[in-house]
Copies of this chain bind each other. A is one copy, B any other.
Amino acid sequence: MPALPVRDLAALVGETNVLVGEASRPYLTDATEAEGVSGLADAIVRPPTAESAAAVVEWCYTRGIPIVPRGGGTGYAGGCVPQGGGVVLSTELLTRTRSLDPIHWCAQVEAGVTTRRLQTLARENGLYFPVDPGAAEQSHVGGNVATNAGGPHAFKYGVMRAWVTGLEVIFAPGGQVTKLGSSVRKDVAGYDLVSLLAGSEGTLGVITAVDVRMIPAVAARYPVVAFFSSLEAGVEAMDTTLASGTAPSALEYLDGPTTEMARRSFPKALPEGVVLTLIAEADGSPGEATAGRTALLEALSPESTGVYAPTAPGEIEALWRWREGIGIAVDAAYGGKVSEDIAVPLQALAAAIEATLCIGESHGLTACSWGHAGDGNLHSTFVFDRTDARAVKEAKIAAGDLFELAIELGGTISGEHGLGMLKNGWLRNQWSQEAVALQEGIKSLFDPKCLLNPGKKES
């Protein structure tokens, strides 16, 4: 490919908003950087408006230049890593709150607004935006839609899609800014293109703004952490929790090895010999959350070897910060990791937790898992010394075994992170031939030249 006429792009978005060479480096990877994933692009473009973003898409599409949409760059699947050329279209300058209506629980924000900013906006207006995929300071609302982001509170409140009523999107062939839906809360006039875009990982269109709905602020949230000395006891306690009549707002777990790796950063002393840690949370009005907390304590305590159930806001915050830091704690323990995000039917959760350890063992690797127990969503992980070439290679093979396991258990190869570039080619093992053909047909329909985030989410 001849060198990109950068000057033309500068004319569309302003000179300071086209980055090349060294300045483009931070845009060439995502959270998989630690695993050595990084790419190449001819230029990074940061359109200051949706219209200029559309002009960039049109300019690229006409010239056959790949377009890699990029949000906060916090993905775990290499979904925004450019593969050898083209333009990275960063939405970081699209940061306006276009409208906010606290009375009617809705807002329209541009794609580059951070998840935290939206959460804060909601809170400041007496509302709650419950999607909490982690890395909220960095991740963008547009990226949250493009990956259909989850997080701990998806158990009660659903994933990103459940909170989106409309999208502003640039579809590639025409390079037009197109509106799908609006703040209207119900719409069955056409096929559900909003849902099709959600989780499409930038392969069908570029999202420039999002209409979200919210709910009234939740006054209180009380987490209960319980430790178990056997997987059976822990899973039984989880089933008791689910059968208690309470709907926890979150239901998380750490297996034994993960608990060990995160032990030192836990706010309190932990019992020894933990095989499973459960974190359940009750929320609602103060009375309701208190009653929920009691129900959780009743369900989780009897079989446990210890319980921690903070009620002070600072302690609760510290607990959730600890929970969010588990990935980092696991990183720190061995230096290298391959972490996947399979999800299985709830009946198969215990089997998947055990099988993760077995798969590790069969590859001579230390394994662990943690994640969103209530959603059957595991972050199954193999840890190793990054200088150990054999371990690095084995971990990638072991990840394949994990995907096969998830499929065998009737689950999915990705509950949260998407296929990105790391899971290309696996969907055809999970889906029927008919479904795969439809996925490929949809891609061709939306992106006939295959220039939108090429090499990603391939079946």
Contacts and interface: CB of A to CB of B under 8 A. Distances in A.
A416 interface: yes
B439 A191 contact: yes
A432 B193 CA distance: 12
A247 B345 contact: no
A431 interface: yes
Contact of A345 (B155, B182, B195): B182
A196 interface: yes
A435 interface: yes
A150 B186 contact: yes
A336 interface: no
A198 to B, nearest CB: 6
A179 interface: yes
A192 B182 contact: no
A147 B436 CA distance: 24
Interface string A207-225: 0000000011101000000
B106 A346 contact: yes
A375 B441 CA distance: 34
A186 B376 CA distance: 8
A267 interface: no
5 contacts: A161-B195, A187-B343, A189-B430, A190-B431, A287-B287
A23 interface: no
B171 A162 contact: no
A171 B345 contact: no
A346 B183 CA distance: 8
B411 A459 contact: no
A436 B148 CA distance: 24
Interface in A319-378: 343-347, 372, 374-377
B438 A193 contact: yes
A184 B415 contact: yes
Contacts of A436: 190
Contacts of A178: 432, 434-435
Contacts of A191: 196, 199-200, 204, 439, 442-443
Contacts of A174: 434
A240 to B, nearest CB: 9
Chain A interface: which size bin? 35 or more
A401 interface: no
A128 B101 CA distance: 31
Given A188-B417, A191-B196, A439-B191, A183 B345 contact: yes
A154 interface: yes
Given A106-B346, A174-B434, A243-B103, A187 B285 contact: no
A184 B376 contact: yes
A216 B242 CA distance: 8
B217 A439 contact: no
A319 to B, nearest CB: 23
A427 B187 CA distance: 11
Contacts of A147: 188
Contacts of A105: 242, 346
A308 interface: no
Contacts of A270: none
A34 interface: no
B239 A103 contact: yes
A186 B434 contact: no
Contacts of A184: 343-345, 376, 410-412, 415
A59 to B, nearest CB: 17
A410 B345 contact: no
A413 interface: yes
Chain B CB within 10 Å — which of A180, A187, A239 has the most?
A: A187
Contacts of A155: 185
A343 to B, nearest CB: 5
